[in-house]
Amino acid sequence: MEQLSFQDAQQMAEALRVELNQYAVEYYVNDQPSVEDYVYDKKYQKLVELETEFPDLITSDSPTQRVGGKVLEGFEKVVHDTPLYSLNDVFNKEELFAFDERVKKAVGKAVSYCCELKIDGLSISLKYQEGLFVQGATRGDGSVGENITENLKTVKSIPLRLSEPLSIEVRGECYMPKSSFVKLNEQREENGKEVFANPRNAAAGSLRQLDSKITAHRNLSTFLYTLADFGPLEATTQDQTLDELSRLGFRTNQEWKLCNTIDEVWEYIESFHEKRSQLPYEIDGIVVKVNDFSLQDQLGFTVKAPRWAAAYKFPPEEAETVIEDIEWTVGRTGVITPTAIMTPVRVAGTTVSRASLHNNDYIEKKDIRLKDSVLIYKAGDIIPEVAQVILEKRPNDSEPYQAPTHCPICGSELVHLDEEVALRCINPKCPAQIKEGLNHFVSRNAMNIDGLGPRVLAQMYDKHLVGDVADLYALEKEQLLTLEKIKDKSAENILQAIAASRDNSVERLIFGLGIRHVGSKAAKILAEHFGSLEGLSQATKDEIVALNTMGETIADSVVTYFENEEVHELMRELAERGVNLIYKGLRTNQLDEVESPFKEKTVVLTGKLRQYTREDAKEKIENLGGKVTGSVSKKTDIVVAGEDAGSKLTKAQGLGIEIWDETQMIQAIEDSNAEGS
């Protein structure tokens, strides 16, 4: 970096912070990003550089302060000046209407209600001083909670600075989206850890981490809905409060509705009985609040809850069925996982006959046995889980379930590693693991080789055509033709897909190798930083940890992986067979140097391309600084029209947008690459 004066650096840093915080609001609060990830990444990296050179520049509202890092000994207590209240529950229409009667009687007239979703997460309270986030706490028992400021700073939808310098305390819910919950549990299962029973537990576990770096990786989000003290705000109703909060930069839930009668409230509630399972987050009910604050004051509180609100709780969606069998399967890393095979039963909209039992501790804790009757539910509204055994229905001759002691596939003895709950097959030659590893290698985010489904790969392995991933690159057509259902044409397609994957940029290979804890995102960061597989294989733990967002677990895992001599043998084989081991993507800090006609242009691809797949073309254009979008609008700069282009082309012509054919695009890509290298 050129020599900068402190003042210049300060100005640049401030400008970057404002810009980055704005992008974050668009992305995490409004769910409407305005820039591509790499634009954010590049500016972020610049800010990190400035702050590294001038540590005095770091402010508490800098986005770099969101990655976590401070490890606490324990959580301090926080006394809530205004206690966090709980809600009175109602479980059916009668109780809801009785609530309405009580309210009407107390205030002497009909009232409007603000109805909101009851988000199934954890209550949080956020304190701001002159617009700066200074403290975040859990609800605890309502009067005393825990100080989790460091963890909440990593939650990207929580503004570190408000749009106005207000001193306020804001309250709401911190939750884990269903998709993050499912992914987290998949990872935990594969890593031999205990899984979370539902998104709420996962959110709670994530917020109670002493190491905020862990929280930062958990993808938590928030919905805020009230204040401890309304002093500084002008709102006089709940619906105004939601608008005000959103204006200040908080994420608020948009599904709320103002209802003028209790019948309308009931209609709203009923509509969510169905919609509920399609929401991207879990809700456990609907909160009905008297909208007008003056009426709320008139109604007041009981010992624990406001008289002006009620929480309608959805009936639990559980179903009863019988455990017929327990099946154990071996994963890519050797973890063996039990699955309950059950009599098919309908629950929350689908028929369910299998549920993961996660590990043997889980089976023991719930004392699940063959032939047991059980209640099942869907965690995060998606994943079938066994809630509990119905003991009264247990057969008389029932015996505790015995977990296997040997791998169901290769027969080697199973072990518990360290403190893992999982049972593992640690035989590196275990066919089940190798097959899973091959499946992973060819998958979309890895080498992306089409045509090689699990059946084909399993056959290849069983027929000794392929023993490891490098063998894929030595396959011949005659060999493929010996496989079931593989004819001339499909054999050629497979060979072509394999051959094409040789040219992948190395992050796909790094992910595809299946190094423990290295997901596709981490693979990209490692590839970009170390430049090649060779470079990564020589990286030290410190070098990896020094990368923003890489934890020790990943670093240890990478270093250990490359200590294995067989891995180096595999690298040699891959190289000999022409597989690219170099990072080809653009380094984010090189983007400045790119000169290309795509730079900062919005491009739409339409029609059939001959030379590139859409995806390849998109990747190439993005690497050259362009943005590829799906639909033509006034903002589009270039439309690349392949063969048989249809309505998008017509629209572009109508708008007078520059139109290229495929040859022009290829020429532009090649020219830019020639200059860039």
| 269 contacts: CB under 8 Å, gap ≥ 6 | 96, 115, 286, 312
Binding mask 194-233 toward ligand AMP (x if CB under 6 A, else -) reads -------------------------------x--------
- Residue placing its CB nearer to ligand AMP in the complex, 119 or 357: 119
Query: Annotation-wise, does 410 bind a ligand?
Result: yes
Question: Quick one: what does residue 494 bind among Zn ion, ligand AMP, none, with the CB cut-off 5 to 8 Å set by partner type?
Answer: none
Q: Pick one of 51, 173, 372, 528: the residue that binds ligand AMP (CB under 6 A).
A: 173
Taken in order 417, 420, 421, 424, the sign of the CA dihedral is negative
DSSP 156-213: TTS-SB-SS---EEEEEEEE--HHHHHHHHHHHHHTTPPPPSSHHHHHHHHHT-SBHH
Q: What residues does 257 pair with on adjacent strands? A: 115
Question: Which tokens go with 318?
Answer: 């559980």
- Residue placing its CB nearer to ligand AMP in the complex, 238 or 636: 238
Active site residue 46: no
Residue of 42, 118, 378, 620 with catalytic role:
118
Closest CA relative to residue 614, chosen from 647, 662, 657: 662
Question: Quick one: what does residue 123 bind among Zn ion, ligand AMP, none, with the CB cut-off 5 to 8 Å set by partner type?
Answer: ligand AMP
- CA separation for the pair 633, 648 (Å, rounded): 9
- CA separation for the pair 593, 600 (Å, rounded): 13
- Residue placing its CB nearer to ligand AMP in the complex, 203 or 609: 203
Residue 675, classed as helix, strand or coil, is: helix
Residue 247 Cβ, how far from ligand AMP at the closest point, in Å? 18
Question: Quick one: what does residue 407 bind among ligand AMP, Zn ion, none, with the CB cut-off 5 to 8 Å set by partner type?
Answer: Zn ion
- CA separation for the pair 83, 306 (Å, rounded): 12
Does the protein bind Zn ion through residue 422 (CB under 5 A)?
no
Question: Quick one: what does residue 425 bind among Zn ion, ligand AMP, none, with the CB cut-off 5 to 8 Å set by partner type?
Answer: Zn ion
In 10 A of CB 564, how many CB atoms? 11
- Residue placing its CB nearer to ligand AMP in the complex, 283 or 628: 283
Q: Mark the segment that binds ligand AMP (CB under 6 A) among 82-90, 193-201, 376-384, 549-557.
A: 82-90
Q: Pick one of 410, 475, 570, 659: the residue that binds Zn ion (CB under 5 A).
A: 410
Question: Which tokens go with 373?
Answer: 């009757």
Query: Annotation-wise, does 557 bind a ligand?
Result: no
Say how far residue 496 (Cα) sits from the centre of its chain.
33
Residue 457 belongs to what H/E stretch?
A: helix 454-462
Does the protein bind ligand AMP through residue 116 (CB under 6 A)?
yes
- Residue placing its CB nearer to ligand AMP in the complex, 16 or 287: 287
- Residue placing its CB nearer to Zn ion in the complex, 17 or 435: 435
List Cα–Cα distances, 97 to 94, 104, 275, 362, 660, in angstroms.
Answer: 5, 11, 22, 42, 64
Binding residues among 350-409 for Zn ion as defined by CB under 5 A: 407, 409
Which residue numbers are catalytic?
118
> Residues marked as binding for NAD(+)?
37-41, 86-87, 116, 139, 173, 289, 313
- Which chain residues interact with ligand AMP by CB under 6 A? 84, 86-87, 116, 118-119, 123, 139, 173, 225, 287, 311
- Which chain residues interact with Zn ion by CB under 5 A? 407, 409-410, 425, 427, 430
> Residues marked as binding for Zn(2+)?
407, 410, 425, 430
